[in-house]
Structures are given as C-alpha cells and as structure tokens.
Chain A
C-alpha cells in the first residue's frame, strides 16, 4: 500500500497519462508513506500469465509479504470460483514499471492491490481487457468461514487524491469505504463476501466492455 523512496532526485510520474492494458493486465495504486520525499502515488502494472509464480524480479522491489500473499489469495479464490477451470499461476510486474522502481530505488509494499489483482485475474480468465481509466483497490483477507473478505485499505485519502488527479472514469473499492469521487467518475463499491465481490467484479467488467464497444 505504500512505496518508499531511498534516494531523492526522482521525476514524479505524469499522472494524467493512462497506459493501454491488455486482458489479464491490471493496474495497482501505491501511495507514499512520506510525500515529502517522493511522488504522492505510483501506478504499477501487473500481468497474469499461465505459469511462473510471483515474478522473481519483483522480490527486490517489494517489502513485506502482503503482495505475494495477495497473489496467492487471488489464485486460491480463482481456483474455487473459476472451477472447473483453474487460476493462472503467474503474476509479473510490467517491465517498464519494474525498471522505473529499480532506477528510482522505490520499494512497494502492502496488500491493498488484492482487489485489482482479482479483477485482472477475472479479465485473464474471461479474456476481457481492463476497464479504461479505472483505479481499483481493496485488500482481501481470510475470514472464519473458510472464505475471504474484501476489506478497506489504509491511506484512502491519499489514494483518492492521487487517483483524482488522473481524471479516472471509475474507482472500484471496498464498499465499506466512503469515498467522494470526482465528478464524471463512477464509484463502484464492492461487497465484503468474496463470492458477492467476484460476481460484482464480473458484472462491472462486462458492463464496461459493452459500454466501450
């Protein structure tokens, strides 16, 4: 959920430009613990692939265990909800973004990208490209009914502030978070229970495809 700067002299990324994403790719948003020493936010792209596990290159760019756990959690959820098909088994960081992080000595951490990864996984399985100009965040935690729950993330204000600078068309986030999204931006709150969340993500992905085409 955070990125940290190890050295200064970093050009802040231009938030207004939007990358073009293919089916199975997804965009995660990280906000800074300390805005005085780096950009307020970073958008990092990931791509689901059939195999390969959690990108070995990403280990140097990541602190903590939450990112890898978010990946494993999505695989587990996908295996259950895509059955009889199975989840893809590989998640790779975008080459350019990896290079950017490495060059600027940024480290990303936190599990707030869980929902973004899950939407990317659905897109991979359904072969549907991501929703244009859309930010997604939300953590996914195991709960006591042998299932999972979508839960709010930290620094919601920072995420919303950064997202708003990019004129997003949609923000997808845990329903338990109350957001005041920019005008012209669709606010999509996702339910806590994972099966409901899965259905809602599928629906919103389908809606947008229909809308775009």
Chain B
C-alpha cells in the first residue's frame, strides 16, 4: 500500500495568466507587490500535453483550468481542449467566457465537467468590482448561448454561474436574492463566494461567526491537496494566491517529481509544524476554510444553499438534458 497519493487531489493548470478583467478580489492586481508576474503568459502546449499525460495516469486527481488568469485566452486553447478530450480528462473551468467563439463554447461543453461562469450579482456590481459593464452584458449573452448549445446538443458540461459577495453584503441582500432568482431556473448550480481580502495579508472579510475559530491557527490543508501549474511552468501550492510559489521547482520534470522535491516537502513540513514565519502563509486566514463544517443555510424565502467554508452552492432545477 502506498504511503500517500503521488499527486494532490486537485491540480490546476493555468493555461493563461492573461485576463481582460481586473477583479477587485483577485490577487492578480497585487502581482507587482508580491512578484507574481509570470515569465510567460501562456503555458507551453508541449508542457501542457506532458502534464495531461501524467494526469491521465491519476484518474482520482481532479483537474481545473482556472487560476489567476483566463485560460480561454490561450492562443492554442482548442488544441489543449482536444488533448484533454483524447485523454478522457474532464476538467472544471471557472471562466468569464470573454472572447470565446461559438466553436470554443461547443468544445467546452464537450470537454469540461463543469463550466462555472464568473458574473457579478448585477451589472452595477460587475462594473464596480470586475470590469466594464459591456463585458457583463457580453458574458450574460454567452451563458445564454452556452445553455442553448447544450440544449441542442442534448447534453454536455454542467453549467454554473458564480458571483462574489463583497464585504458588508449578506446572503439575504436584495441583489443576492435577485441574482439567484434570475439564474436558478436556467443553470445547474449557483456559486456564491464570500469575498476574501488580498492586501499585505489574506483575510476573511465576512468575519461574523468565525473570529473565535481564527484565534487558533490550524494546519492549512491546501499544500497537501492542491497544486497549481502557472503559465510559466512554475508551481504554487495554494488555491488562493500565487504569492506563494516555489522557487526551485518547475512542472517540467513532472508533477509527481515536483511533489517529491525537497523544497515541496520542506514546505509541507513547515505547514505540519505550523512554522510559517517568513512566508505569506503566516499572514493568511484562508486555512480556516479547510476546517469549517458544511452548513445548510436559507437564502431568501425560497432557496437553500450548502455553505462550504466561504463558498455557498445552490443546486438549481437542472437545465441539463
């Protein structure tokens, strides 16, 4: 019996670190401060294929194409999706659908397990926190197109929409209820993310009811469960931010080799010992997300959500056929 899984349970492949939006709750805007900039904006397709080959040998590892950029901006995205399809890997993708063609939407539906489209609670919310209002209208239209394509094809990826709830706004706020009511009849799931604050530290902004738990540091599970391959082939063991990045490990040698690398193992040991001085993890609160128990909450008068840490999932009357 093996001592431990050879790969983390989730691997993120950041095909592109470019993004046309500037979301207030994405750590990408802090790249200048935390040397987050990538050496190359697009993941080399040969490297991507090698990684996919390796991931195909680990069917229990989930694959996501989302990190700090918009993976669909990769110039060879169609080839990348085709290769995933050939290897029978069905990734999750969180995306704005910006710049997608009809053909790419159809490809996504065939290849992905879930397409979670990033919206705002409303056009005004989108304009405030993400980008121009026109981009919101475009994204909404793309979701409609995606749903239509799936209906015509008779099936395809699950389609979800997501929005981030800024600090000070509760699940019972009218704009949240309106968002849910709008999308509930047509998508498979609605995901609401409680905004995290990225400054010098990474903090929960919705702190009500968790202050006590935050007072006792627990071990962050992320480095043990998750690794992201960034667009330049470097690696981050954090699902929140690439300000945590390995300096001497690259994905080129393969993921299993990366996980066994002394720097990776030393990082895990630091987490085991909670000896995080001098690392960005010292000033991060996202560890609590791994420990919070799931709760069922009411959202407005009609809906029920499963609150998993800072993510609320609202299953919908599936539009899937």
List residues of A whose CB falls within 8 A of some B CB: 4-6, 33-34, 37, 65, 69, 72, 76, 141-146, 148-149, 151
Contact = CB atoms under 8 A, between A and B. Distances in A.
A65 B218 contact: yes
B293 A65 contact: no
B1 A37 contact: yes
A143 B209 CA distance: 8
Given A4-B1, A37-B1, A72-B216, A145 B291 contact: no
Contacts of B292: 141-144
A155 B218 CA distance: 25
19 contacts: A4-B1, A6-B3, A65-B218, A65-B219, A65-B221, A65-B272, A69-B218, A69-B291, A76-B216, A141-B291, A142-B210, A142-B288, A142-B291, A142-B292, A143-B292, A144-B209, A144-B292, A148-B293, A151-B294
Contact of A144 (B210, B216, B219, B272): B210
A146 B1 contact: no
Contacts of A148: 293
B293 A151 contact: yes
Interface string B202-237: 000000111111001011010000000000000000
A112 B288 CA distance: 19
Contacts of A143: 209, 292-293, 295
Interface centre among B3, B219, B293 (most CB of A within 10 A): B293
B307 interface: yes
Nearest to A151: B293
Contact of A142 (B208, B219, B221, B293): B293
Contact of A146 (B3, B213, B293, B294): B213
A39 to B, nearest CB: 14
Contacts of B212: 146
A189 B3 CA distance: 34
B107 to A, nearest CB: 37
A149 B213 CA distance: 13
A177 to B, nearest CB: 15
B295 A144 contact: yes
Given A34-B1, A65-B272, A146-B210, A141 B216 contact: no
B1 A6 contact: yes
Contacts of B307: 144
Q: Which 9 A-B pairs have the closest CB atoms?
A: A141-B293, A144-B209, A146-B212, A65-B219, A142-B213, A145-B209, A149-B293, A143-B293, A146-B209
A33 B2 CA distance: 12
Contact of A5 (B1, B216, B219): B1
Contacts of A69: 218-219, 291
A37 B1 CA distance: 8
Interface centre among A5, A72, A141, A148 (most CB of B within 10 A): A141
Contacts of A151: 293-294
Contacts of B295: 143-144, 149
A111 to B, nearest CB: 10
Nearest to B206: A144
A151 B292 CA distance: 11
Contacts of B219: 65, 69
B1 to A, nearest CB: 6
A18 to B, nearest CB: 29
A58 to B, nearest CB: 14
B296 to A, nearest CB: 10
A13 B162 CA distance: 51
A6 B4 CA distance: 12
Contacts of B210: 142, 144, 146
Given A143-B292, A146-B209, 10 more contacts: A6-B3, A34-B1, A69-B291, A141-B292, A142-B291, A143-B209, A144-B292, A145-B209, A146-B210, A149-B293
